[in-house]
Structure 1
Amino acid sequence: MKSHRNTLVAAAATTALAAGLLLTQTGAGNAAPARADSAPSDIKTVSSGWSIPWGLSWLPDGSALIAERDSFKLYKLTQSGTRTQVGTVPNVVTTGGEGGLMGLAVSPNWSSDHAIYLMHTASDGNRIARMTYDGSSLSGYKAIVTGIKKNKYHNGGRLKFGPDGYLYATTGEAQTPDLAQDKDSLNGKILRMTTDGKPAPGNPFGTLVYSLGHRNPQGITWDPQGRLWEAELGNSKYDELNLIEPGKNYGWPTCEGNCSTSGMTNPKRQWSVGEASPSGVTYADGALYMAALKGERLWRIPVDGTSAGTPKAYYTSSYGRLRTVETVPGENALWLSTTNADNNGGEPDGADKVFQVELK
């Protein structure tokens, strides 16, 4: 026990330093000073002609790397809208549904290690891989986590570095609900790991598993105090916004939304699936911004400590299915992407866009 406590103390001691290095990864603290009365205002198209842009992560120069789910291609997009293909990620397959090239996280030490991390579907299941992007080309594929079951739907897929310096991943239960409650399974979980894919120090079960009882989580972000928030697609009743704590059980499949079952952690907010079906989530200006797929809207949820206030919807049905939202480094603004060219959107390839949303 003494060793475990020391590990936790050491991890906590690195948080403040790591947070300063990871602003472009977490979305917490990288915008202009927070204003509780801010809200989305002007919106403009940064880039069009995309086909299911899924993962998005910032480079130190203020441009973004963006992954297309079904083409397996990786692009660099500048804030002025210049798009350059970086390469195609190997070993990726589709599932005919939600699988493919999903989450993307640029190393917080990219300037020295040139590492990027990708979550994708492979022939043997979902996996997390590390590659090298030297600023012009993509190389050096290495799988660092395997054994995550895949299915046509419910593959999770989000990757982000946390303010503690570790890599976090969301996994779906691969249409096998009982996996979400199985501590020995990597499915239906939030995972926390080192950059080599090993369990991070202080993980509650000594494995990669950080929290369990998730159905299909596709959004994670941190507030300025380092609290982890998660957006999760429900089944037929409720989608969820959860405040994640290590070792906690978030209910699926026993609970969908709020319930009174002992040992289960209730969401901070819930929505009908027609209003949300959330994917990405980010923090800015005193609130969480959550992109909704079926709901075709951007939700703003003010947060105060561990409480989530009354949500308000923006852009309802104006731009279709909203997949990923991230805070723009150094600006009080968001980037917001659509995935209308997927199975549910029904639009042709090239129909998707990346927008910039000003917060005023």
Structure 2
Amino acid sequence: MGGHMKVRWCWAAVTVTALVLTAAQPAGAAVATAAKKLDVPWGLSFLPDKSALVTERSGRILSIKGTTVTQVGKVAVEPGSESGLLGIAVSPNYNTDKYVYVYHSTDEDNRISRMKLGGTPEPLVTGIPLASVQVGGRLAFGPDGFLYASTGDATNGDDAQDTKTLGGKILRMTKDGKPAPGNPFGNLVYSYGHRNVQGFAWDGQKRMYASELGQQDLDELNRIESGKNYGWPECEGPCSNPKYTKPLLTWPTDQASPSGVAIYKNSIYVAALRGERMWKVPLNANGSVGKPTAVFKGTYGRLRTAVAGPDGKLWITTTNRDGNGGTVRKDDDKVFRTDG
């Protein structure tokens, strides 16, 4: 990795100088706790009745209806520093097929499975590289009806540049786990050159945005497009080589370490782990972004997930019990709702 450090450091200096970072609390935002005393809530999705499903990294799937929390599923996992039961996505046809999809760690790989609540997971995609860190884990159905998943490089940066592997990628697939029609490389791979994507979302124009955890210099917010190479491990942050796609925004890693992403009220919300805040990034009509503002800075600690809920609220999970440096607060970990 020593050969890459010089490139990343030069670009980090330019980017940080150019980007003015501000911090503020959300003005007049109403906040309500939906669930508390959870065990590292990670993934969050919604059923057609607008109730929430949340995963705990240790393997439970919980239902949140109002403030009533009930266990509705269990997945056997091998939890590690960042691994375990991670993302969850509800089928767009849930009323007829009753499927939910989960991203989870076994003792040999990370995999994507589907299941009916209370049932046994059916593996669809296996062999996603396993490690204790850098394992991605986000799942969501896109506006095209296909399932998207983010994977980490599992500490092997070479995988990120190899379009024949599943590590360091964003994947796009059918509801049966097969490559989606039109995928750029004829397999599951949609975009590559990623170190560790833990969040993505789409705007009203069906444009996809994703967060990217950097190594030690810069974290990223990227616009994701089919077949594009996002540069890892050749560069962290903007790359001088034009074959790599440059990020829309970068942050120093101590101000972000980004995870979940939501698009809510014309802004991109990026949940920050090490930064212990939510970054609110104005989203312009043409897909460009404005200057980010930090909200909830230090209020709730490490933030893992952000999802725009069917109730018109922004749903957020904390992750202070994940063993990665957070200070556990009263009633952690929480799921809370806010209007901005």
Partner of 1:342: 322
Distance 2:236 2:275 in 1: 18
Partner of 2:275: 295
Deviation at 1:187, TM superposition (A): 0.4
Partner of 2:160: 180
1:327 to 279, 294, 308: 308
Per the alignment, in what secondary structure is the counterpart of residue 158 of structure 2? helix
Distance 1:143 1:260 in 2: 40
Partner of 1:356: 337
Supply the AA of the counterpart residue of 1:199: P
Partner of 1:74: 61
Q: How does 1:111-126 map to 2 (within 5 A)?
A: 111-126=95-110
Supply the AA of the counterpart residue of 2:222: N
Distance 2:127 2:99 in 1: 22
* Runs of 5+ consecutive residues of structure 1 not aligned to the other structure: 1-37
Q: 1:315 and 1:339, CA in 2 relative to 1: closer, same or farther beyond 3 A?
A: same
Q: How does 1:2-81 map to 2 (within 5 A)?
A: 41-70=29-58, 72-78=59-65, 80-81=66-67
**Alpha-carbon displacement from aligned partner over 1:114-150 (angstroms, at most 9, x marks no partner):** 00000011122100001012xxxx1142100001111
Whether the 8 Å contact between 1:115 and 1:132 is mirrored in structure 2 is: yes
Partner of 2:6: none
Whether the 8 Å contact between 1:40 and 1:357 is mirrored in structure 2 is: no
Partner of 1:35: none
1:94 aligns with 2:75: no
Partner of 1:131: 115
Partner of 1:85: 71
Distance 1:284 1:247 in 2: 27
Aligned length: 313
1:149 aligns with 2:129: yes
Distance 1:351 1:163 in 2: 33
Supply the AA of the counterpart residue of 2:54: I
Whether the 8 Å contact between 1:239 and 1:277 is mirrored in structure 2 is: yes
Partner of 2:9: none
1:159 aligns with 2:139: yes
1:252 aligns with 2:235: no
Deviation at 1:61, TM superposition (A): 0.7
Distance 1:40 1:186 in 2: 43
Deviation at 1:278, TM superposition (A): 0.6
Deviation at 1:262, TM superposition (A): 2.8
Deviation at 1:255, TM superposition (A): 1.0
Whether the 8 Å contact between 2:211 and 2:258 is mirrored in structure 1 is: yes
Deviation at 1:43, TM superposition (A): 1.6
Partner of 2:181: 201
Partner of 1:19: none
Supply the AA of the counterpart residue of 2:197: P
Whether the 8 Å contact between 2:55 and 2:86 is mirrored in structure 1 is: yes
- Compute the TM-score of the two structures, normalised by the length of structure 1: 0.85
1:109 aligns with 2:90: no
Per the alignment, in what secondary structure is the counterpart of residue 280 of structure 1? strand
Whether the 8 Å contact between 1:251 and 1:265 is mirrored in structure 2 is: yes
Supply the AA of the counterpart residue of 1:301: V
* Runs of 5+ consecutive residues of structure 2 not aligned to the other structure: 1-25
Deviation at 1:346, TM superposition (A): 5.2
Structure 1 segments (4+ residues) deviating >4 Å: none
1:211 to 177, 180, 191: 191
**Alpha-carbon displacement from aligned partner over 1:253-289 (angstroms, at most 9, x marks no partner):** 0010112113100000000001100100011111111
Distance 2:303 2:28 in 1: 15
**Alpha-carbon displacement from aligned partner over 1:219-266 (angstroms, at most 9, x marks no partner):** 010000000000111010100000000000000000101121131000
Per the alignment, in what secondary structure is the counterpart of residue 355 of structure 1? strand
Deviation at 1:351, TM superposition (A): 2.2
Distance 1:350 1:160 in 2: 28
Partner of 2:10: none
Deviation at 1:306, TM superposition (A): 2.2
Partner of 1:239: 219
1:310 aligns with 2:296: no
Whether the 8 Å contact between 1:40 and 1:358 is mirrored in structure 2 is: no
Partner of 2:23: none
Per the alignment, in what secondary structure is the counterpart of residue 49 of structure 1? coil
Whether the 8 Å contact between 1:129 and 1:143 is mirrored in structure 2 is: yes
Supply the AA of the counterpart residue of 2:121: Y
